[in-house]
């Protein structure tokens, strides 16, 4: 567990209850926003508030990563969990946002640790003890990303949170959290300054509370152009989901490029045959699928398997034609070459 610190510089050793509540809410909103944007909302996070030590007005909000939604609890410390964790950590969005919030040097150090962690997972022999150790280390890195990002966002100048490298929805949520905290602190006349790191030599002074306490304008809804792109993909399944109505979990597999892919299966014939034991999965089963990927300005946003074509070399179905696809997904926009790009 790692903690977000909110350190109140006060003239007397107390703060109003409303201020403590607002700061906890602000940290919670920031943590959830970072989870949603950086980690696709896949982290199950537990937040706790620790009481301040006697004579101190420091509030600690503990952050613990409990699990990943796409991985069954029964998976424990298997390598499917570790690979899912790496895929969530090692992304361009994590690099962009961490560099904007933390600065280039801390960001580079953090990314280097992620890459080192990935290398050691790749070389590991698969022992349960080592997997447990690596899982704890990996979760610790993710908690650090969340905690450092939250602390930096709460104390950042408002314009920094509106930078082009920060996705608008994330920037808005972080500014909303910041404004809630500082608007509440402005009402508490006992508070002279606030900092978010241990022994911070330059806390944010009361004279700056008003600027940070201004509530951001709601985001204008963007009519972002999104297309469904079709492809045939071969996937090695690392985490199946055998219950059809399981909205909190997604199938997970590794494609031929070595990337982890999260997806839903919409193929009704596949689901009808699964309980009849006509389809049998084994450890590391490989499937060939007709995949529809919803792509927006920042890349893939959703993946749906519309047809399972092959399981471990056994042919199950033919690809759907354009008319069938249109009835499922609406207008499909994709190049003919998409149907071959990722199969081999």
Domain that holds residue 320: 227-339
- Both 316 and 191 in a single domain? no
Q: Which of 167, 189, 212 is the last residue of a domain?
A: 212
213-224, pLDDT tens digit by residue? 999 988 876 655
Q: What's the confidence (pLDDT) of residue 96?
A: 74
Instruction: Specify the pTM.
Output: 0.63
Structural domain contains residue 17:
yes
Strand segments, DSSP code E, in 202-315 are 204-205, 227-239, 251-255, 260-265, 286-296, 299-311, 314-315
- Both 198 and 265 in a single domain? no
Long-range pairs, 30-33, Cβ under 8 A, ≥24: 30/4, 30/149, 30/150, 30/153, 30/154, 30/173, 30/174, 30/177, 31/4, 31/63, 31/146, 31/150, 32/173, 33/169, 33/170, 33/173, 33/174, 33/177
Structural domain contains residue 218:
no
- Both 199 and 248 in a single domain? no
- Both 284 and 144 in a single domain? no
Of the chain, the percentage scoring pLDDT greater than 70 comes to 77
- Both 189 and 232 in a single domain? no
Structural domain contains residue 295:
yes
Of the chain, the percentage scoring pLDDT greater than 90 comes to 23
- Both 124 and 170 in a single domain? yes
Structural domain contains residue 220:
no
In the chain, the number of structural domains is 2
Give CA–CA dist 146/43, Å, rounded. Answer: 11
What confidence tier does 255 reach under pLDDT thresholds 50, 70, 90?
Answer: confident
- Both 101 and 162 in a single domain? yes
Q: Which of 161, 186, 212 is the last residue of a domain?
A: 212
For residue 340, pLDDT beyond 70: no
């Amino acid at each position: 567990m790692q903690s977000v610190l909110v350190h109140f510089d006060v003239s007397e050793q107390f703060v109003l209850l409303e201020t403590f509540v607002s700061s906890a809410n602000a940290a919670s909103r920031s943590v959830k926003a970072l989870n949603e944007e950086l980690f696709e909302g896949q982290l199950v996070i537990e937040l706790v508030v620790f009481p301040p030590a006697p004579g101190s007005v420091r509030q600690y909000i503990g952050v613990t990563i409990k699990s990943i939604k796409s991985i069954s609890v029964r998976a424990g410390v298997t390598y499917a969990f570790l690979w899912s964790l790496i895929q969530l950590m090692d992304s361009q969005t994590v690099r962009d946002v961490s560099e904007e919030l933390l600065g280039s040097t801390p960001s580079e150090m953090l990314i280097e640790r992620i890459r080192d962690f990935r290398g050691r997972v790749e070389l590991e022999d698969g022992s349960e003890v080592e997997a447990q150790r690596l899982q704890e280390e990996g979760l610790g890195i993710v908690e650090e990303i969340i905690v450092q990002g939250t602390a930096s966002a709460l104390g950042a100048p408002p314009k920094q949170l509106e930078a082009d490298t920060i996705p608008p929805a994330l920037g808005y949520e972080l500014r909303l959290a910041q404004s809630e905290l500082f608007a509440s602190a402005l009402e508490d006349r006992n508070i002279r300054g606030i900092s978010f790191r241990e022994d911070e030599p330059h806390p944010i002074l009361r004279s700056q509370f008003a600027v940070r306490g201004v509530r951001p304008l709601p985001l204008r809804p963007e009519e972002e152009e999104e297309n469904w792109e079709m492809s045939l993909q071969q996937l090695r399944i690392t985490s199946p989901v055998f219950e059809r109505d399981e909205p909190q979990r997604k199938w997970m597999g590794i494609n031929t490029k070595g990337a982890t892919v999260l997806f839903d299966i919409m193929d009704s014939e596949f689901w009808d045959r699964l309980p009849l034991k006509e389809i049998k999965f084994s450890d590391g089963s490989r499937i060939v699928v007709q995949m529809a990927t919803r792509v927006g300005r920042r890349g893939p946003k959703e993946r749906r398997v519309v047809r399972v074509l092959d399981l471990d070399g056994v042919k199950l179905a033919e690809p759907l034609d354009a008319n069938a696809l249109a009835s499922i997904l609406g207008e499909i926009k994709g190049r003919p070459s998409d149907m071959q790009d990722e199969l081999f």
